[in-house]
Structure 1
Amino acid sequence: MLTKFKKSISEKIISLIENNERNKKNNSWQSFLALENINIHPSFNPKNATIFKGENNLLGHLTIGENVLLREYCNVLVFPNAKLIIGKGVFFNNYCTINCLEKIEIGDDTIFGEGVKLYDHNHLINKGTNFHVEKEKYTKSPIKIGKNCWIGSNVVILKGITIGDNAIIGAGCIIHKSVPANTIVKNNQNLIYESL
């Protein structure tokens, strides 16, 4: 009898904690949506404000269209005065990262494989007598990805790139030159096999 009572109390405590966490997450999401620079369609999933980061608690302009899905462990950084525009029907698989310091635009129905990374900036390199890479100064140039593209796993897209509609980028590519519409880009690795 005492065991059943303990189990019942435990279940009630766990339920209260879970409800409290769910309410906190929901309140955080609603507060996030209330910001004037945030325009996210109600169908967006997951409804988790912690995915989105800015600089010094300030976030740039963020627009996300209908039926956009980010899977697990995705991170989105939008600096103040930067703009991130994601069209409808866009899908991000696990571990994708978007670092937007100027502008990144993603067209409708584009899909991203696991581990894709988008960077619209580079650290500024000081080539003077005291050569060094700046930690908080950047060169920036927008990224534009067209509609109905398929970006394979572990692709890195660098600043200043335009990818046309219906492009396919194969897994593992580093995109440092623009890609015309209706083009397939493949990573031609030269694998070397040696006997032991």
Structure 2
Amino acid sequence: MSNETWSVKGPLELNDGTWGELFSKCANLLYEINNLHPSKHEEKEELLNKLFGEIGEGTEVLLPFYCNIGSNIKIGKNAFINNNCNFLDTDTIEIGDYTLLGPGVNVICANHPVSTRERIRPIDDEIDDGKYTYIDEKGNYDDSIEYTFVNTKQPVKIGKRCWIGANTIILPGVTIGDNVVIGAGSIVTKDVPNNKIVAGSPARIIRDND
């Protein structure tokens, strides 16, 4: 489902029953995973298979690891996820075979509207009728009304044989092709074609990856 056709008000783990259950299940599994003794290899593998939608043979996930839902994440075979990675997987995240993620990589599907009037809305749907009568001509909100924020989401896809450098941020809706290298600390705001090396904030193509 695209970012343009989906929006939910308020903290998902609190305000919506279905989403709340998904967040709770994920949080419980992550607690178990991130508190395992390093020697518990079989238990870790079993828990990761419960957490993720798919995880391929030979894929390694170093701990701690963080995500929102877990079941929206699909990882191919022989991939490597370094420690302290964080996936905001309110939409699907796909990672291809043999792809490496450095420590501290953030993959983000969750988003919010930029426009304040679209992002901050009355909780009461009867008041939130699309006419914005609660905002005056100077942009001031009626403080007698209780408000919340709006969430949106888009999927992220990372191809095969990629190397995503440490502390990279990949934003909602981005598709990264195969054989791509992302420089450490980059912010990836748009799609990256196959066989490219990109870096920077925002990330830009540096050269081809031969």
Q: Which residue of 2 aligns with 1:87?
A: 76
Provide the identity percentage. Answer: 37
> Which ranges in structure 1 are unaligned for 5 or more consecutive residues?
1-27, 33-42, 54-60, 190-196
Deviation at 1:62, TM superposition (A): 1.0
Which has the higher relative contact order, 1 or 2, with Cα contacts under 8 A spaced 6 or more apart?
2
SS in 2 for 1:148: coil
SS in 2 for 1:186: strand
Which residues of 2 match residues 25-174 of structure 1 at below 5 A? Answer: 46-47=44-45, 49=47, 62-78=53-69, 83-124=72-113, 127-128=116-117, 129=135, 130=141, 134-135=148-149, 137-174=150-187
Deviation at 1:85, TM superposition (A): 1.0
Deviation at 1:177, TM superposition (A): 0.8
TM-score, normalization by structure 2: 0.57
Q: Deviations over 1:54-86 (max 9, x none)?
A: xxxxxxx7111111111121113227xx62211
SS in 2 for 1:98: strand
Structure having the higher Rg: 1
Quick check: 1:119–1:157 contact (8 Å CA) kept in 2?
yes
Q: Deviations over 1:111-168 (max 9, x none)?
A: 000100101121345622349x955x41111101000000000000010000000000
Number of residue-to-residue matches in the alignment: 140
TM-score, normalization by structure 1: 0.61
CA RMSD of aligned residues (A): 3.5
SS in 1 for 2:44: coil
**Alpha carbons of 1:75 and 1:188: their partners in 2 closer, same or farther (altered >3 Å)?**
closer
**Alpha carbons of 1:186 and 1:179: their partners in 2 closer, same or farther (altered >3 Å)?**
same
